[in-house]
Structure 1
Amino acid sequence: MLNISIRTRRRALECYIEPILMYGCEAWTISKQTQKKLEVTEMWFLRRMLRISWTAKKTNDTVLEEAHTTRLLISKIRKRQATFFGHVMRREKLENLVTTGMLEGKRSRGKQREKLIEGLADWLKAGKSLEAIEATKDRKKWRTMIANAVKQGT
């Protein structure tokens, strides 16, 4: 068996596996259930990387400690979403209308789906989605909001 350092394994995971997992994540709406599944997937990756059997009685905190890391996947996804959202909002084209949900027409019956902007406004602690939309106009303010949200974690 090869003796590859944990740091090198972690870099390979970040380089080859995470981009495949996060493909198209800019357009996802992340519910509590989806977030939990992503966290489980991240922990599964780390356990496989460290060769920890699923029958081994090790807590997630122990696994994170052994890998010398913290949970970063949700934070990375949210950051990519916020960056993409700011880009779309500044363009003021058709994508802007679709993303904000400001299209004319009838809404479907039943519980309405969560919009991307609502999830981002909650993550950025912007209060209302209109505040987040207004913040995208000023690029420095938007980047500061994203940086503060990333620092605070998910």
Structure 2
Amino acid sequence: MVISRRPNLNAGTKLKQRDSFKYLGTIITQDGKNHTEIKARIAQAKTNFQKMKPLLTNNKITITTRKRALQCYIEPILMYGCEAWTITIEIQKKIEATEMWFFRCRLRVPWTARKTNEEVLKETETTRSLMNRIQRRQAKFVGHIMRREGLENLVTTGRMEGKKSRGRQREKMLDGMTSWMGTKRVTDALSETWDRESWNEGHDRQRQGARHLMRMMI
């Protein structure tokens, strides 16, 4: 498989190419994006939720216990490999919609019921936290590979020879991370990773500020 912005790229030799394949449980596609992988993760999480539906929707079990079961058995399936995801606005909406789907199914709220997300969250005695946990894992992962200065560091920070293609450039994982952290440049964010304590405290404050802003907008 050739991973490139230009499809069917080869070195002059005709080879049978694959559009995608699964490696270590992750779907890799020829365009180098992770949209297919994230959608597959969401589908797998929903499938496993349906298998555990008798437990997760049992009103005889406390909401707290069912919430723990969801976080223990279902959400890790969705979050597998999320440390390296490039999360666009479209993907973020899908993840948040999936989290609300879990909550609605857990309460057995039919799709015809006109209940707002806020009403559902109040009944489940919880708040939306899936995106926050994904962001926390991404921040920890980036901090770890930056301080280690190994191959992962080189792949993440290295520059490639040549000119940029025309048009708007693709959003990278680090671009999304600096966006929700409120940092103007990627280099500014990466320079902060060397101080582990400051880095952890910094992205915690940024997430709290983002959550506060979302509540104000709602």
Q: CA deviation at 1:144?
A: 1.2
Instruction: Report the 3-state secondary structure (helix = DSSP H, G, I; strand = E; otherwise coil) of the residue aligned with 2:183.
Output: coil
In structure 1, what residue type is equivalent to 2:177?
Answer: L
Instruction: Summarize the alignment of residues 92-131 of structure 1 with structure 2, pairs less than 5 Å apart.
Output: 92-131=149-188
Matched residues in 2 for 1:95 and 1:47: separation?
A: 39
Determine whether 1:55 maps to 2:112: yes
Name which structure has the greater RCO, CA cutoff 8 Å, separation 6+.
1
Q: CA deviation at 1:101?
A: 4.8
Q: CA deviation at 1:105?
A: 4.4
Match of 1:67 in 2: 124
Q: CA deviation at 1:137?
A: 1.1
Instruction: Summarize the alignment of residues 134-149 of structure 1 with structure 2, pairs less than 5 Å apart.
Output: 134-149=191-206
Matched residues in 2 for 1:58 and 1:32: separation?
A: 24
Q: CA deviation at 1:102?
A: 2.3
Residues 101/73 of structure 1: CA separation in 2 closer, same or farther (3 Å cut)? farther
Q: CA deviation at 1:109?
A: 4.6
Matched residues in 1 for 2:151 and 2:69: separation?
A: 38
Q: Given that residues 43 and 60 in structure 1 are in contact (C-alpha distance below 8 angstroms), is that contact kept between their aligned partners in structure 2?
A: yes
Match of 1:14 in 2: 71
Matched residues in 2 for 1:64 and 1:46: separation?
A: 7
In structure 2, what residue type is equivalent to 1:111?
Answer: R
Match of 2:62 in 1: 5
Length-normalised TM-score, structure 1: 0.92
Residues 73/83 of structure 1: CA separation in 2 closer, same or farther (3 Å cut)? same
Q: CA deviation at 1:106?
A: 4.7
CA-atom RMSD, angstroms? 1.6
In structure 2, runs of 5+ residues without a counterpart are: 1-53, 212-218
Q: Given that residues 143 and 193 in structure 2 are in contact (C-alpha distance below 8 angstroms), is that contact kept between their aligned partners in structure 1?
A: yes
Moved over 6 A (4+): none
Match of 1:79 in 2: 136
Q: Given that residues 6 and 50 in structure 1 are in contact (C-alpha distance below 8 angstroms), is that contact kept between their aligned partners in structure 2?
A: no
